[in-house]
Structure 1
Protein backbone atom coordinates (compact mmCIF):
# COMPACT_ATOMS: atom_id res chain seq x y z
CA UNK A 1 0.00 0.00 0.00
CA UNK A 2 2.99 2.31 0.54
CA UNK A 3 3.78 2.17 -3.18
CA UNK A 4 0.25 3.28 -4.02
CA UNK A 5 0.31 6.17 -1.55
CA UNK A 6 3.77 7.31 -2.67
CA UNK A 7 2.55 7.52 -6.28
CA UNK A 8 -0.49 9.53 -5.18
CA UNK A 9 1.73 11.91 -3.20
CA UNK A 10 3.94 12.40 -6.26
CA UNK A 11 0.97 12.80 -8.61
CA UNK A 12 2.54 15.58 -10.69
CA UNK A 13 6.11 14.28 -10.54
CA UNK A 14 6.95 13.64 -14.16
CA UNK A 15 10.71 13.87 -13.64
CA UNK A 16 12.86 11.12 -12.23
CA UNK A 17 12.51 7.38 -12.46
CA UNK A 18 10.09 4.75 -11.12
CA UNK A 19 10.96 1.13 -10.47
CA UNK A 20 8.93 -1.69 -11.92
CA UNK A 21 7.71 -2.53 -8.43
CA UNK A 22 6.36 0.98 -7.88
CA UNK A 23 4.59 0.99 -11.26
CA UNK A 24 3.07 -2.49 -11.02
CA UNK A 25 2.05 -2.20 -7.35
CA UNK A 26 0.21 1.01 -8.22
CA UNK A 27 -1.47 -0.77 -11.15
CA UNK A 28 -2.40 -3.76 -8.97
CA UNK A 29 -3.90 -1.74 -6.13
CA UNK A 30 -5.74 0.53 -8.60
CA UNK A 31 -7.18 -2.55 -10.29
CA UNK A 32 -8.31 -4.00 -6.96
CA UNK A 33 -9.97 -0.72 -5.95
CA UNK A 34 -11.69 -0.47 -9.35
CA UNK A 35 -12.98 -4.03 -9.03
CA UNK A 36 -14.34 -3.38 -5.54
CA UNK A 37 -16.05 -0.20 -6.74
CA UNK A 38 -17.59 -2.08 -9.69
CA UNK A 39 -18.93 -4.82 -7.41
CA UNK A 40 -20.43 -2.20 -5.07
CA UNK A 41 -22.06 -0.42 -8.01
CA UNK A 42 -23.50 -3.66 -9.39
CA UNK A 43 -24.85 -4.62 -5.97
CA UNK A 44 -26.47 -1.18 -5.66
CA UNK A 45 -28.00 -1.58 -9.13
CA UNK A 46 -26.39 1.58 -10.49
CA UNK A 47 -26.92 1.90 -14.23
CA UNK A 48 -24.24 4.55 -14.62
CA UNK A 49 -20.98 3.63 -12.92
CA UNK A 50 -20.30 7.00 -11.28
CA UNK A 51 -17.98 5.70 -8.57
CA UNK A 52 -15.68 4.05 -11.11
CA UNK A 53 -15.77 7.12 -13.32
CA UNK A 54 -14.83 9.46 -10.45
CA UNK A 55 -12.07 7.11 -9.28
CA UNK A 56 -10.67 6.85 -12.82
CA UNK A 57 -10.55 10.63 -13.08
CA UNK A 58 -8.93 10.90 -9.65
CA UNK A 59 -6.04 8.58 -10.57
CA UNK A 60 -5.61 9.72 -14.17
CA UNK A 61 -2.80 12.19 -13.47
CA UNK A 62 -0.92 9.93 -11.01
CA UNK A 63 -1.23 7.08 -13.53
CA UNK A 64 0.27 9.16 -16.34
CA UNK A 65 3.03 10.45 -14.04
CA UNK A 66 4.09 7.00 -12.84
CA UNK A 67 4.01 5.71 -16.43
CA UNK A 68 6.29 8.54 -17.57
CA UNK A 69 8.68 7.89 -14.67
CA UNK A 70 8.65 4.16 -15.50
CA UNK A 71 9.57 4.97 -19.11
CA UNK A 72 12.35 7.22 -17.81
CA UNK A 73 13.73 4.25 -15.88
CA UNK A 74 14.05 2.35 -19.16
CA UNK A 75 15.83 5.42 -20.65
CA UNK A 76 12.88 6.40 -22.85
CA UNK A 77 11.24 9.78 -23.18
CA UNK A 78 7.90 10.28 -21.45
CA UNK A 79 6.37 11.00 -24.84
CA UNK A 80 6.28 7.23 -25.38
CA UNK A 81 3.32 7.29 -22.96
CA UNK A 82 1.27 8.68 -25.86
CA UNK A 83 1.16 5.08 -27.09
CA UNK A 84 -1.80 4.75 -24.69
CA UNK A 85 -3.80 6.54 -27.37
CA UNK A 86 -3.18 3.76 -29.93
CA UNK A 87 -5.58 0.89 -29.31
CA UNK A 88 -4.09 -2.60 -28.94
CA UNK A 89 -0.70 -2.12 -30.69
CA UNK A 90 0.22 0.91 -28.59
CA UNK A 91 -0.94 -0.81 -25.41
CA UNK A 92 1.15 -3.90 -26.18
CA UNK A 93 4.27 -1.85 -26.91
CA UNK A 94 3.79 0.19 -23.73
CA UNK A 95 3.24 -3.00 -21.73
CA UNK A 96 6.54 -4.40 -23.02
CA UNK A 97 8.36 -1.15 -22.20
CA UNK A 98 7.02 -1.10 -18.63
CA UNK A 99 8.00 -4.74 -18.08
CA UNK A 100 11.63 -4.22 -19.07
CA UNK A 101 14.45 -3.77 -16.58
CA UNK A 102 15.45 -0.22 -15.84
CA UNK A 103 18.88 0.96 -16.86
CA UNK A 104 21.52 0.31 -14.22
CA UNK A 105 23.15 3.30 -12.65
CA UNK A 106 22.45 6.85 -13.67
CA UNK A 107 20.79 7.66 -16.97
CA UNK A 108 19.72 11.00 -18.46
CA UNK A 109 16.62 11.05 -16.23
CA UNK A 110 18.33 10.55 -12.88
CA UNK A 111 19.82 8.02 -10.51
CA UNK A 112 18.79 4.39 -10.37
CA UNK A 113 15.81 4.21 -7.97
CA UNK A 114 16.57 0.58 -7.22
CA UNK A 115 19.72 1.52 -5.35
CA UNK A 116 18.63 4.91 -4.04
CA UNK A 117 19.76 5.87 -0.56
CA UNK A 118 16.34 7.43 0.13
CA UNK A 119 14.66 4.08 0.83
Structure 2
Protein backbone atom coordinates (compact mmCIF):
# COMPACT_ATOMS: atom_id res chain seq x y z
CA UNK A 1 0.00 0.00 0.00
CA UNK A 2 2.89 2.36 0.72
CA UNK A 3 4.13 2.08 -2.89
CA UNK A 4 0.71 3.16 -4.17
CA UNK A 5 0.64 6.10 -1.75
CA UNK A 6 4.19 7.06 -2.70
CA UNK A 7 3.12 7.47 -6.33
CA UNK A 8 0.12 9.55 -5.23
CA UNK A 9 2.29 11.74 -2.97
CA UNK A 10 4.36 12.58 -6.05
CA UNK A 11 1.10 13.50 -7.82
CA UNK A 12 2.51 15.71 -10.56
CA UNK A 13 6.26 15.23 -10.09
CA UNK A 14 7.71 14.40 -13.49
CA UNK A 15 11.37 14.66 -12.44
CA UNK A 16 13.36 12.00 -10.68
CA UNK A 17 13.11 8.25 -10.72
CA UNK A 18 10.58 5.59 -9.74
CA UNK A 19 11.70 2.09 -8.83
CA UNK A 20 9.98 -0.91 -10.36
CA UNK A 21 8.06 -1.64 -7.14
CA UNK A 22 6.68 1.87 -6.92
CA UNK A 23 5.40 1.82 -10.49
CA UNK A 24 4.00 -1.72 -10.69
CA UNK A 25 2.29 -1.60 -7.29
CA UNK A 26 0.67 1.64 -8.41
CA UNK A 27 -0.54 -0.12 -11.58
CA UNK A 28 -1.75 -3.13 -9.57
CA UNK A 29 -3.74 -1.06 -7.07
CA UNK A 30 -5.24 1.04 -9.86
CA UNK A 31 -6.32 -2.13 -11.66
CA UNK A 32 -7.90 -3.58 -8.51
CA UNK A 33 -9.69 -0.34 -7.65
CA UNK A 34 -10.95 0.01 -11.24
CA UNK A 35 -12.18 -3.59 -11.14
CA UNK A 36 -14.15 -2.97 -7.93
CA UNK A 37 -15.55 0.32 -9.25
CA UNK A 38 -16.53 -1.36 -12.52
CA UNK A 39 -18.38 -4.03 -10.55
CA UNK A 40 -20.18 -1.35 -8.51
CA UNK A 41 -21.00 0.59 -11.70
CA UNK A 42 -22.53 -2.52 -13.21
CA UNK A 43 -24.37 -3.47 -10.03
CA UNK A 44 -25.92 -0.01 -9.67
CA UNK A 45 -26.42 0.47 -13.43
CA UNK A 46 -24.23 3.57 -13.39
CA UNK A 47 -23.21 3.24 -17.02
CA UNK A 48 -23.43 5.84 -19.75
CA UNK A 49 -23.36 5.50 -23.54
CA UNK A 50 -20.81 2.94 -24.68
CA UNK A 51 -20.93 1.03 -21.39
CA UNK A 52 -18.54 3.34 -19.53
CA UNK A 53 -19.08 3.31 -15.79
CA UNK A 54 -19.45 6.65 -14.05
CA UNK A 55 -17.41 5.76 -10.95
CA UNK A 56 -14.68 4.05 -12.97
CA UNK A 57 -14.45 6.99 -15.33
CA UNK A 58 -14.17 9.50 -12.50
CA UNK A 59 -11.47 7.41 -10.83
CA UNK A 60 -9.56 7.10 -14.12
CA UNK A 61 -9.60 10.87 -14.50
CA UNK A 62 -8.40 11.30 -10.91
CA UNK A 63 -5.35 9.06 -11.39
CA UNK A 64 -4.50 10.13 -14.95
CA UNK A 65 -1.83 12.69 -14.01
CA UNK A 66 -0.24 10.53 -11.27
CA UNK A 67 -0.15 7.59 -13.71
CA UNK A 68 1.61 9.61 -16.38
CA UNK A 69 4.03 11.04 -13.81
CA UNK A 70 4.83 7.58 -12.40
CA UNK A 71 5.39 6.22 -15.93
CA UNK A 72 7.75 9.04 -16.80
CA UNK A 73 9.70 8.60 -13.55
CA UNK A 74 9.87 4.84 -14.22
CA UNK A 75 11.30 5.46 -17.68
CA UNK A 76 13.81 7.86 -16.12
CA UNK A 77 14.88 5.06 -13.77
CA UNK A 78 15.71 2.88 -16.78
CA UNK A 79 17.74 5.69 -18.37
CA UNK A 80 15.12 6.67 -20.96
CA UNK A 81 13.36 9.94 -21.62
CA UNK A 82 9.76 10.30 -20.50
CA UNK A 83 8.82 10.96 -24.11
CA UNK A 84 9.10 7.20 -24.68
CA UNK A 85 5.72 6.97 -22.95
CA UNK A 86 4.16 8.15 -26.22
CA UNK A 87 5.26 4.96 -27.97
CA UNK A 88 2.25 3.33 -26.30
CA UNK A 89 0.02 5.07 -28.86
CA UNK A 90 1.39 2.84 -31.63
CA UNK A 91 -1.08 -0.06 -31.86
CA UNK A 92 0.10 -3.46 -30.59
CA UNK A 93 3.87 -3.05 -31.03
CA UNK A 94 4.12 0.23 -29.11
CA UNK A 95 2.35 -1.15 -26.05
CA UNK A 96 4.59 -4.22 -26.00
CA UNK A 97 7.75 -2.11 -26.28
CA UNK A 98 6.51 0.21 -23.53
CA UNK A 99 5.79 -2.72 -21.19
CA UNK A 100 9.30 -4.07 -21.81
CA UNK A 101 10.79 -0.64 -21.03
CA UNK A 102 8.71 -0.25 -17.86
CA UNK A 103 9.54 -3.77 -16.65
CA UNK A 104 13.27 -3.57 -17.35
CA UNK A 105 15.96 -3.28 -14.70
CA UNK A 106 16.75 0.04 -13.10
CA UNK A 107 19.92 1.80 -14.12
CA UNK A 108 22.06 1.43 -10.98
CA UNK A 109 24.41 4.31 -11.66
CA UNK A 110 23.27 7.93 -11.56
CA UNK A 111 21.89 9.31 -14.80
CA UNK A 112 20.72 12.69 -16.12
CA UNK A 113 17.27 12.15 -14.54
CA UNK A 114 18.40 11.93 -10.93
CA UNK A 115 16.76 14.58 -8.79
Q: Same fold (TM over 0.5)?
A: yes
* 1:79 equivalent in alignment to 2:83: yes
Matches within 5 A, 1:1-119: 1-48=1-48, 49-110=53-114
Shift of 1:105: 2.2
Kindly indicate whether the alpha-carbon contact (under 8 Å) linking 2:46 and 2:55 is maintained by their aligned counterparts in 1: no
Where in structure 2 are there 5+ consecutive unaligned residues? none
Shift of 1:90: 1.0
How many residues of Structure 1 are paired with residues of Structure 2 in the alignment? 111
C-alpha distance in structure 2 between counterparts of 1:85 and 1:62, whole Å = 18
Q: Structure 1 length normalisation: TM-score?
A: 0.89
Shift of 1:10: 0.6
C-alpha distance in structure 2 between counterparts of 1:66 and 1:84, whole Å = 15
Higher alpha-carbon deviation: 40-49 or 24-33: 40-49
Where in structure 1 are there 5+ consecutive unaligned residues? 112-119
Shift of 1:46: 2.4
Q: Structure 2 length normalisation: TM-score?
A: 0.92
Over aligned residue pairs, what C-alpha RMSD do you find? 1.1
